[in-house]
Amino acid sequence: MDALALARWQFAITTIFHFFFVPLTLGLSIFVALLETKYVRSGEEMYKKMAKFWGTIFLINFAIGVVTGIVQEFQFGLNWSEYSRFMGDIFGAPLAIEALLAFYMESTFIGMWIFGWDRLSKKTHLAAAWLVAIGSNISALWILIANSFMQNPVGYAIEGGRATMQDFFALMGNPNVWYQFPHVLSAGIAMAGFVVMGFAAWHLLRKHDVTIFRPSFQWAARYALVGSLLVGVIGHFQGQFLVQHQPLKMAAAEALWETEQPAGFSIVAGINEGKQENSFELKVPGALSFLSYNNFTGEVKGLKDLQVEAVAQYGEGNYIPPISLNFWSFRVMVGAGSLMVLLALLAVIWSDGKREIDSKRGFMRTLMFAPALPYLASTFGWVMAETGRWPWIVFGLQKIEDAVSPNVPGWNVAFSLVVLGLLYGVLTVVAVKLGLKYGKADVKIRESAAAAD
Amino acid sequence: MDLNTVWFILVTVLFIGFFFLEGFDYGVGILLPFLGKKDEERRAIINTIGPVWDGNEVWMLTAGGAMFASFPHVYATLFSGFYLALILMLVALILRGVAFEYRQKFADQTSRKRWDWAIFIGSLLPALLWGVAVGNLMRGVAIDVDMNYWGGLLPLLNPYSILGGLVFVALFTMHGANYLALKTDGEIEARAKDVAFKSWIAATVLTVAFVVWTFFATDILTKSGVNGLVPAALAAVALLSVGYFSKAGKYGSAFIGGSLAVVFATIMVFAGLFPRILISTIDPAFSLDIWNAASTPYTLTVMTIVAAIFVPIVLVYQIWTYRVFRERIKADPKTLVY
């Protein structure tokens, strides 16, 4: 493999790995801050115990998100120096602002939160919890402002062979940001809800600390429902935005070769990328028109026509992204998301206080494994967002092949890919082991163990 | 003063913050296996930086981000050119960060000892590699007309730059020992004070050798206009004061002296580079400077406004955390968090 292919693999692996930990950080930081708010307002120790219990899961997860984030920040210079030169005037600013506004805030106040329980007043400690949550989520906003420019460039000009910033507020106001950020934020909320429900279900099935885990479950069920519903609704509008701005990405996600009016939505399809056709399709008539325009008659352009348009606009070349990858990624995301709405809804209905959720053993066992769903959805959502942009690294402005560092030999990239891959593999094992250990630990045992240490 | 100069100064300030704060952080990590004989002693040592190390590390991230925003060509040339060294540093930083958070969550001593070594390597390697990198910046590297360095890792490991790396390790170890002398008590404090003086001797000898070599091998101290001579002299005075104060048992002053030595040494490097940032040894015309490597005036203006608002805010809350956690850490499991 050449340096370009290896650099792409490295970006994919390190980014997916990083984003495996980020959404839980986003959602769980708010969840813990909400619990602590309840504790400070009501003065009930139970909520402090809940905040500390889920706070520990948060910290185990947070640590990996932070350290893998360093790789993300350096990687543009390491493997994509031509990208960094071309885009530095625009892309560097949100990254620096992310560090200045968000990284300092979350990193400083996480120290206050961990070490400050006995040292700060209740309200100051609560403020630290919220500042960690706000810092984490602001960090997501700025990196998405940067990413949104790559998806949908705005407020720029091309001068002297590079993209230059003309309007900072256009960058912040990029409509792509205001679909993507709420989508990511609500995905994080849903993921946190499902992870907490999963652990709480494990405990409730064993009748551990029901005074802690029943309310935890109830809170998490509502939290998961809000997140799952929002992520779906926002995703729907985001899809409509993409039909307008990145039609090739959406057509790829539908494996729609020919223009259709009205357009049907394929639930499954047998895709032949070589022949540019589908051997079979299971279609819902008019559904794709509805998803695209909220009506059942609109025309949705197919890949072949879009390719012709792209050649006319950008010159000779292949502009069709990897179809199977996008098609199935989209279906995994939407499928997992739909199941999440269903499960969260049932969890809310069945844990409304009048009924004993603990007795629904089959459902509770399902929920122990349900956290896999948000992880699948967010991972494949990003696979689609990033690979659907192919062949562009910056949509319409720079191709991936022109962005790679020319001076880094393939074996260097291969070496770092192996080293980081092994390290990330080990970290996954350690983090999952610790997460399971602390997630399954009895509240009392954990407190006494901490005191005896 | 034009914005390009403003941003050169701001990047310098971020590196000063980074080397000053992470300097003692790395030093504490390097000293961990040697000053902490028992588990609770090692926990106490980690707890001295427990609440603050993550915030300190952000100075490095911000320095990197600010360089990307203000001098994108420097970011691109430096990171792609110093590829393998940076990958090693990333691995070290990942191990270190995870180790701080996870060590205490393992009950058995075997695992904890492994995490201790992760902290040690994770602190030693970045200190060494940043020193090597700074040595190469001062000396210059073979940057071509397209702003690319093609030489790979081996030419970067030249004797001069390796000496620079050793200077960093020694200085940071001394800095960390002075910090621990202020932040611990009992036996750890006594051991830290002992190391503080010994590492001062090592740091002084290495620094003198490095500065003399710098005088002959580079133009950092001698070029006309702005150069590093005055800050180098100030750094020398500050460094000498560390020896005096630690001999006199005044570790607060010794810590301040060491901090000033790190601050002035960083100023020496950047003043000696100015207005260049990456020196080309192929042709001075290929060097990256504050003009040919910079972002547009518009971006620099936006970033100046953002920095003017947020850097002071960050300083206020970071200083506040140091106040909240100003007490000495006792090796008493009942009071330790990590």
Chosen for mutation from A13, A58, A90, A104 (greatest number of chain B CBs closer than 10 Å) is A104
Say which of A70, A107, A108 has its CB closest to residue B93: A70
**Chain B residue with the nearest C-alpha to that of A75:** B79
At A267, which helix (H) or strand (E)? strand A265-272
**Chain A residue with the nearest C-alpha to that of B84:** A412
* B310 interface with A at CB cutoff 8 Å: yes
Q: What is the mean pLDDT of residues A126-146?
A: 98
Q: Which residues of chain A make contact with B314, given a CB cutoff of 8 A? A: 100, 104, 108
A108 with B150: Cβ contact below 8 A: no
Inform me whether the pLDDT recorded for A445 exceeds 70.
no
Average pLDDT value over all residues in chain B: 97
Task: Categorize the per-residue pLDDT at A444 as very low, low, confident or very high, splitting at 50, 70 and 90.
Answer: low
Q: Residue A453's pLDDT is what? A: 42
B73 with A88: Cβ contact below 8 A: yes
Q: Residue A447's pLDDT is what? A: 57
Instruction: Write B306-311 long-range contacts (CB < 8 A, 24+).
Output: B306/A93, B306/A96, B306/A97, B306/A100, B307/A100, B307/B10, B307/B66, B310/A100, B310/A101, B311/A100
**Distance (Å, whole) CA B121 – CA A145:** 36
Q: What is the mean pLDDT of residues B264-283?
A: 98
A67 with B314: Cβ contact below 8 A: no
Q: Residue A66's pLDDT is what? A: 94
Q: Domain extents for chain B?
A: 3-324
CA torsion sign, A212 to A218 to A219 to A223?
A: positive
**Distance (Å, whole) CA A131 – CA A33:** 9
Q: Residue A451's pLDDT is what? A: 44
Q: What is the mean pLDDT of residues B130-159?
A: 98
Q: Which residues of chain B make contact with A62, given a CB cutoff of 8 A? A: 101
Q: Which residues of chain B make contact with A149, given a CB cutoff of 8 A? A: none
* A273 interface with B at CB cutoff 8 Å: no
Instruction: Output the pTM of the full model.
Output: 0.95
Q: Residue B1's pLDDT is what? A: 82
Say which of B298, B317, B338 has its CB closest to residue A165: B298
* A412 interface with B at CB cutoff 8 Å: yes
Inform me whether the pLDDT recorded for A53 exceeds 90.
yes
**Chain B residue with the nearest C-alpha to that of A81:** B76
**Distance (Å, whole) CA A208 – CA A249:** 48
* B333 interface with A at CB cutoff 8 Å: yes
Q: How far is B331 from chain A (nearest CA, A)?
A: 12
Q: Residue B304's pLDDT is what? A: 97
DSSP character for B280?
Answer: B
pLDDT > 70 in chain B, percent: 100
Q: Residue A446's pLDDT is what? A: 59
Chosen for mutation from B18, B61, B298 (greatest number of chain A CBs closer than 10 Å) is B61
pLDDT in tens, A283-318: 999 999 999 999 999 999 999 999 999 999 999 999
Q: What is the mean pLDDT of residues B117-125?
A: 98
Say which of B87, B147, B295 has its CB closest to residue A89: B295
Inform me whether the pLDDT recorded for A137 exceeds 90.
yes
The partner residues of A165 in beta bridges, in order of sequence, read A156
Q: Which CATH superfamily is domain B3-324 in?
A: Formate dehydrogenase/DMSO reductase domain (1.20.1630.10)
Q: Residue B294's pLDDT is what? A: 98
Q: Residue A452's pLDDT is what? A: 41
Q: Residue B266's pLDDT is what? A: 98
Q: Residue B338's pLDDT is what? A: 84
Alpha-carbon Rg for chain A in angstroms: 23
A453 with B325: Cβ contact below 8 A: no
Query: Which A residues in the span 85-124 are in contact with B, Cβ-Cβ below 8 Å?
Result: 85, 87-93, 95-101, 103-105, 107-112, 114-116, 119-120
A84 with B107: Cβ contact below 8 A: no
What's the CA dihedral at A88, A93, A96, A98 to 10 degrees?
-130
Inform me whether the pLDDT recorded for A4 exceeds 60.
yes
At A106, which helix (H) or strand (E)? helix A104-115
Inform me whether the pLDDT recorded for A448 exceeds 70.
no
CB B105 within 8 A of CB A60: yes
Inform me whether the pLDDT recorded for A343 exceeds 60.
yes
**Chain B residue with the nearest C-alpha to that of A110:** B51
Q: How far is B112 from chain A (nearest CA, A)?
A: 13
Q: How far is A137 from chain B (nearest CA, A)?
A: 17
pLDDT > 90 in chain A, percent: 94
Inform me whether the pLDDT recorded for A411 exceeds 60.
yes
Q: Which residues of chain B make contact with A71, given a CB cutoff of 8 A? A: 90, 94
Q: Residue A352's pLDDT is what? A: 81
* B282 interface with A at CB cutoff 8 Å: no
* B306 interface with A at CB cutoff 8 Å: yes
Alpha-carbon Rg for chain B in angstroms: 20
Q: Residue A357's pLDDT is what? A: 80
pLDDT in tens, B3-58: 999 999 999 999 999 999 999 999 999 999 999 999 999 999 999 999 999 999 99
Inform me whether the pLDDT recorded for A353 exceeds 80.
no
Q: How far is B296 from chain A (nearest CA, A)?
A: 7
B299 with A164: Cβ contact below 8 A: yes
* B4 interface with A at CB cutoff 8 Å: no
**Chain A residue with the nearest C-alpha to that of B109:** A453
Nearest in space to B16 (alpha carbons), one of B76, B66, B59: B59
Nearest in space to A60 (alpha carbons), one of A377, A336, A446, A453: A446
The partner residues of A260 in beta bridges, in order of sequence, read A300
With residues binned 3-state (H G I as helix, E B as strand, rest as coil), the percentages for chain B, rounded to 5, are 75, 5, 20
Helix (H, G, I), strand (E, B) or coil at A390: coil
Query: Which B residues in the span 75-114 are in contact with A, Cβ-Cβ below 8 Å?
Result: 75-81, 83-84, 86-87, 90-91, 93-95, 97-98, 100-102, 104-105, 107
